[in-house]
Amino acid sequence: MERRKVTFKLYPNAAQSARLEAWTRLHCELYNAALEERIDAWRKARKSISYYDQQNVLPQIRADRPEFIALGSHALQQTLRRLDLAFQSFFRRVKAGQTPGFPRFKSAKRFWGFAYPDPAGWKLMPHGSRGATLRLGSGDAAMSIRARGRHRFGVEAKPNDITVTRRNGAWFVSVTLRVPDEACARQRTGDQRRGVDFGVTDWATFDDGRTIDNPRWLREELPRLAALQRQRARKRKGSVRYKRLSQRVARLHDRIGNLRRDFVHKETTRMVQQCAVLATEQLAPKNMSRSARGTADAPGRRVRQKAGLNREILSAGFGMAQQMLAYKAEEAGTRLHLSDTRQIKPSQWCSACWEISPKTLGDRMHICPHCGHVMQRDRNSASVALIDAHTPGTGVAARPKPLPRQRGKSKSVTRETPTTAPPGA
């Protein structure tokens, strides 16, 4: 059995929306009260309170506060478990020497929602191909909310747990499904072997020269986003108009994110369906989008230009694409090869003679000084990744014909290794 998640959008009426808001506030109150109890116990008595200590108090809380009964005991336990996970992460970061990030109190407006960790206290009833009804609670406190969404796993998928979230004034439910292995499988329509290089100019470039245009969702909406932010800057912070404009800005960001996710889903699905072998380099968007600001002693150069490049890198969603390729390739039976960027630098190697050809970021054409091979830079990188997929680290087996002679790998040209020998050498 595999586990997959699907998200439905909820359409509660006014009374149901008010009840969802009230339930979220109660979960937030429980979270903050449990956090305060842990802090006070350690501050006053140097005593650590565990999750099980707080879970055992829930029956007494429900007896003293009847409004917590409708929330369900399992949902309340999950809120306490969420706080316990926050403390576990805090202690892990302390031991690792990272920034600790002590758990903080939550505002009811920023508390994203609540969860049911098992099939108790809720029921999801599909209707047709896209409709569904979510029933929360039991008895007189139960409510049935219309939902919209679908998945590809059919009736064999069984709901396991749900998470109800609030985002930009709308309600969503994320359902974890237990799916049989045969229902997860994707049908592959081709047996191509392709290397792909992700970039900013073209979102993807394949080794055969085919490209996928970068829609640039964020750049297209930047003028509208800037206009909304200018209007908000002229309003008094905390006023009704300020909050209204903040909601419009949040909805615009949400729309950009939805467009990006939809595009990446469709393109990665098409890749794994057409390819038996798919090779690309292992990207680290966090490192690629690092700021060039530097420090006070060593300030960076071209900071604004690097900030614009970072915005385009993050907007392209490279990390999201590789995550989707990982599980979709497994479902389709496609072999996904991720070349180690530190070992095999696809943009610097020549796909014809396997020699290093150093380039700057501005060099968009690959011109090998050793064999004279000329190719578009991203296409050459995709070819290098495909070669490395056949023989990782060397790529000898994937060349169309053997090299005329075996040569050692040349060193890259850096400031420490000059290209010309010093006089008298």
**382 domain residue, yes or no:** no
State pLDDT tens for residues 295-311: 878 888 888 898 999 99
Decide if 317 is inside a domain: yes
Domain final residue, candidates 266, 301, 331: 331
Q: Does residue 175 share a domain with residue 198? A: no
Last residue of a domain, which of 303, 331, 359?
331
What residue has token string 């439905």?
8
In angstroms, the CA 9 to CA 164 distance is 10
The answer on 23 and 96 residing in a single domain is yes
- 247 falls within a domain: yes
Burial of 388 (0-12, 13-18, 19+ CB in 10 A): buried
pLDDT band at 345 (very low <50, low <70, confident <90, very high): confident
DSSP 70: G
Lowest mean pLDDT among 25-39, 42-56, 346-360: 346-360
Average pLDDT over residues 340-357: 85
Which whole number is the average pLDDT over 261-280?
94
- Please return the burial class of 242, using the count of CB atoms within 10 Å of its CB with bins 0-12, 13-18 and 19+: middle
- The mean pLDDT value for 31-60 works out to 96
- Shared-domain flag, residues 128 and 251: no
State whether 285 and 140 are in the same domain.
no
Banded pLDDT at 392 (limits 50, 70, 90)? low
Residue 418: per-residue pLDDT: 39
Same domain, yes or no: 197 and 284: yes
DSSP string, 378-417: HHHHHHHHHHHHHSTTT--TTSSS--SS--PPPPP--SSS
Per-residue pLDDT tens digits for 359-371: 888 888 999 888 8
Q: Does 73 share its domain with 165? A: yes
What pTM, to 2 d.p., does this model score?
Answer: 0.83
- d(C-alpha 233, C-alpha 368), whole Å: 52
Which phi-psi region, left, alpha or beta, contains residue 302 (left: φ > 0; alpha: ψ -120 to 50)? Answer: left
Which of 313, 331, 349 is the endpoint of a domain? 331
Cα separation, 212 vs 411, in Å, equals 33
Instruction: Kindly state whether residue 50 falls inside one of the protein's structural domains.
Output: yes
Residue 419 — very low, low, confident or very high, per pLDDT cuts 50/70/90?
Answer: very low
Q: Does 161 lie in the same domain as 12?
A: yes
Q: Name 335's bridge partners.
A: 277
**252 and 307: one domain?**
yes
- Give the pLDDT confidence score for residue 393 in this predicted structure: 57
CA distance 9 to 250: 17
Residues of the domain holding 169: 2-179
How many distinct structural domains can be found in the chain? 2
Asked if residue 14 and residue 93 are part of one domain, the reply reads yes
Residue 357 inside a domain? The answer is no
Average pLDDT over residues 54-73: 94
Q: Is the pLDDT of residue 105 over 60?
A: yes
Question: Same structural domain for residues 169 and 310?
Answer: no
Q: What is the pLDDT of residues 176-230, one digit of tens each?
A: 999 998 888 898 999 999 999 999 999 999 999 999 999 999 999 999 999 999 9
DSSP string computed for 162-186: EEEEEETTEEEEEEEEEE-HHHH--
Residue 146 has a CB neighbour count (10 Å cut-off) of 16
Q: Is residue 205 part of a domain?
A: yes
Contact between residue 229 and residue 218 where contact means Cβ atoms under 8 Å apart: no
